[in-house]
């Protein structure tokens, strides 16, 4: 089956430049560093052995921050290599981890992957969340790289999809030296798929956030732009959700609505939508003081999400008002801000259930409930204070996964 997969990827290889060019029309960053994606002319001048960590995009890249700190402080004789798939993930990694080599992950084509391993020769590879690329995993063993899937997440919906291809997937899955899961449901799903290696639940590294001096500097910078009104943040909104949200908020409230689309290429879409609705707005990139008449701000910046959360009164989680499965609410709660999300949270089902149970989140069944829910928390300060108090209890309950992962993966390198 792997040979068939490899043949298919070879046949698809010629159209990948066209794909990058198409993405590049909306985000020019996709037009840069093509050689890394194809494993061509790779450079590695480092003499230290390499520990490699892979994340897809911004959320996963941020989620490894505590783990990277532990590696840097305890294994200084190793060089950290971080790979990402998206330009935003790459930019985030370069900002957060100046001590690391930052690189795009190669496309999962045999010659691209083999070139990557030949050049970097990583001792250990850590793949964040559930990224299962057959060639990448297969050639890790051939290259004598111990490879782990950590912060693994496999929802029941994803399990049903993987289970259809179980016979083809299992030989690749069992090449992982370990799968360290966010929750018991994920562990159970990998077990049902037939993984027979080191399978454990260790928790979610997204609870181990680091709010460092660079984040504090961004808060100071943002304070110069916003006034004293309460900020209601709509975080990581997805395609079509902004229209829904605009139809279910009260623009007469004396607050600022901050909308941050999930993907940077959609900043302009939101701008055009607000013009269409004749809504007075400004953009973060304008970098000017918001005037009192402005009710809505487009958060068109990168690397400032924690700072946005620090200034927010409460946060509405995007991806949950259409069938996208929701986005990560942990960062907002970590910053002590109560969250509201819609019914579609299957990508973060355990986090959603537990945050509601702990009393730091509210789940609504319909966007039509959004206006009343927001207004209630604006005026009912006692209820808001109770939600806010529960945020720290929730984080304290679930933090510590990064240390557990470090102890399990790197026990023989200490």
Mean pLDDT of 250-272: 95
What are the DSSP E strand ranges found in 265-360?
Answer: 281-283, 296-298, 314-317, 339-341
Tokens 């806010």, located at residue: 388
The percent of residues in the chain predicted with pLDDT above 70, rounded, is 99
**Does 214 or 345 have the greater pLDDT score?**
345
**Does 25 or 114 have the greater pLDDT score?**
114
| 413 pLDDT above the threshold of 90 | no
Tokens of 297: 């701000």
Tokens of 193: 């798929």
| 3-state DSSP assignment of residue 371 | helix
| 45 pLDDT above the threshold of 90 | no
pLDDT band at 228 (very low <50, low <70, confident <90, very high): very high
Roughly how many angstroms between the first and final C-alpha of the chain, as a whole number? Answer: 38
pLDDT of residue 114: 96
| pLDDT per residue as tens digits for the range 108-149 | 999 999 999 999 999 999 999 988 999 999 999 999 999 999
Nearest to 249 by CA among 232, 268, 272, 236: 232
DSSP 289: P
Largest CA distance in the chain: 62
| 8 pLDDT above the threshold of 80 | no
Query: Cα(236)–Cα(326) distance, rounded to whole angstroms?
Result: 9
Nearest to 384 by CA among 354, 362, 366: 362
| pLDDT per residue as tens digits for the range 55-93 | 988 889 999 999 999 999 999 999 999 999 999 899 999
Pairing of strands 314-317, 296-298: unpaired
Mean pLDDT of 177-197: 95
pTM greater than 0.75:
yes
| 189 pLDDT above the threshold of 80 | yes
pLDDT of residue 26: 82
Contact 340, 364 (CB under 8 A): yes
DSSP 106: P
Query: Cα(296)–Cα(273) distance, rounded to whole angstroms?
Result: 12
Instruction: For residue 339, give Cα distances in angstroms to 52, 57, 232, 388.
Output: 34, 22, 10, 9
pLDDT band at 414 (very low <50, low <70, confident <90, very high): low
Instruction: For residue 352, give Cα distances in angstroms to 130, 325, 344, 361.
Output: 19, 11, 10, 8
Query: Cα(245)–Cα(80) distance, rounded to whole angstroms?
Result: 41
What are the DSSP E strand ranges found in 110-197?
Answer: 122-128, 146-152, 178-181
pLDDT of residue 27: 85
Query: Cα(106)–Cα(4) distance, rounded to whole angstroms?
Result: 19
Neighbouring C-beta atoms of residue 135, cutoff 10 Å? 21
Q: What are phi and psi of 335, to 5 degrees?
A: -85, 10
Cβ burial of 289 (10 Å; 0-12, 13-18, 19+) is exposed
pLDDT of residue 14: 82
* Range scoring the smallest mean pLDDT among 24-28, 45-49, 92-96: 24-28
- Length of the chain equals 414
Contact 193, 162 (CB under 8 A): yes
pLDDT band at 177 (very low <50, low <70, confident <90, very high): very high
Nearest to 173 by CA among 406, 302, 1, 301: 1
* Range scoring the smallest mean pLDDT among 6-20, 298-312, 340-354: 6-20
| 271 pLDDT above the threshold of 70 | yes
- State the average pLDDT for the chain: 94
Q: What angle do CA 269, 272, 277 make, to 5 degrees?
A: 125
| 28 pLDDT above the threshold of 90 | no
Dihedral in degrees, nearest 10, Cα atoms 395, 398, 402, 408: 170
Domains in the chain, ordered, with CATH? Answer: 2-208+399-409 (3.40.50.11720), 213-397 (3.40.50.2000)
The percent of residues in the chain predicted with pLDDT above 90, rounded, is 83
* Range scoring the smallest mean pLDDT among 14-18, 191-195, 198-202: 14-18
Q: What are phi and psi of 232, to 5 degrees?
A: -105, 110
């Amino acid at each position: 089956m792997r040979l068939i997969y490899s043949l298919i990827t070879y046949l698809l290889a010629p159209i990948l430049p066209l794909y990058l060019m198409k993405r590049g029309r909306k985000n020019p960053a996709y037009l840069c560093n093509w050689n890394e994606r194809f494993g061509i002319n790779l450079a590695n001048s480092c003499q230290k052995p390499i520990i490699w960590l892979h994340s897809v995009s911004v959320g996963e890249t941020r989620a490894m921050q505590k783990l990277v700190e532990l590696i840097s402080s305890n294994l200084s004789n190793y060089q950290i290599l971080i790979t990402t798939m998206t330009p935003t993930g790459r930019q985030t990694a370069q900002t957060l981890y100046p001590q690391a080599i930052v690189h795009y992950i190669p496309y999962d084509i045999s010659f691209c992957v083999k070139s990557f391993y030949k050049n970097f020769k990583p001792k250990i590879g850590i793949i964040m969340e559930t990224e299962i690329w057959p060639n990448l995993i297969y050639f890790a063993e051939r290259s004598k790289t111990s490879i782990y899937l950590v912060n693994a997440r496999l929802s029941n919906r994803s399990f049903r999809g993987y289970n259809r291809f179980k016979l083809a997937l299992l030989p690749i899955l069992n090449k992982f030296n370990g799968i360290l899961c966010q929750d018991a449901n994920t562990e159970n799903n990998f077990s049902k798929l037939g993984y027979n290696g080191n399978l454990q639940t260790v928790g979610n590294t997204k609870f181990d956030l680091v709010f460092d001096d660079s984040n504090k500097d961004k808060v100071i910078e943002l304070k110069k732009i916003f006034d004293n009104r309460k900020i209601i943040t709509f975080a990581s909104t997805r395609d079509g959700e902004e229209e829904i949200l605009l139809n279910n908020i009260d623009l007469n409230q004396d607050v600022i609505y901050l909308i941050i689309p999930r993907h940077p290429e959609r900043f302009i879409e939101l701008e055009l939508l607000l013009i269409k609705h004749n809504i007075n707005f400004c953009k973060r990139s304008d970098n000017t003081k918001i005037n009192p008449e402005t009710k809505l701000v487009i958060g068109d910046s990168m690397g400032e999400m924690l700072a946005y959360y620090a200034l927010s009164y409460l946060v509405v989680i995007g991806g949950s008002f259409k069938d996208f499965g929701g986005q990560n609410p942990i960062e907002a709660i970590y910053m002590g801000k109560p969250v509201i999300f819609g019914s579609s949270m299957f990508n973060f089902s355990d986090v959603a259930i537990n945050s509601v149970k702990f009393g730091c989140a509210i789940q609504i069944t319909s966007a039509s409930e959004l206006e009343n829910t927001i207004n209630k928390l604006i005026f009912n300060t006692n209820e808001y204070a109770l939600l806010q108090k529960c945020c720290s209890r929730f984080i304290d309950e679930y933090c510590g996964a990064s240390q557990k992962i470090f102890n399990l993966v790197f026990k023989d390198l200490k």
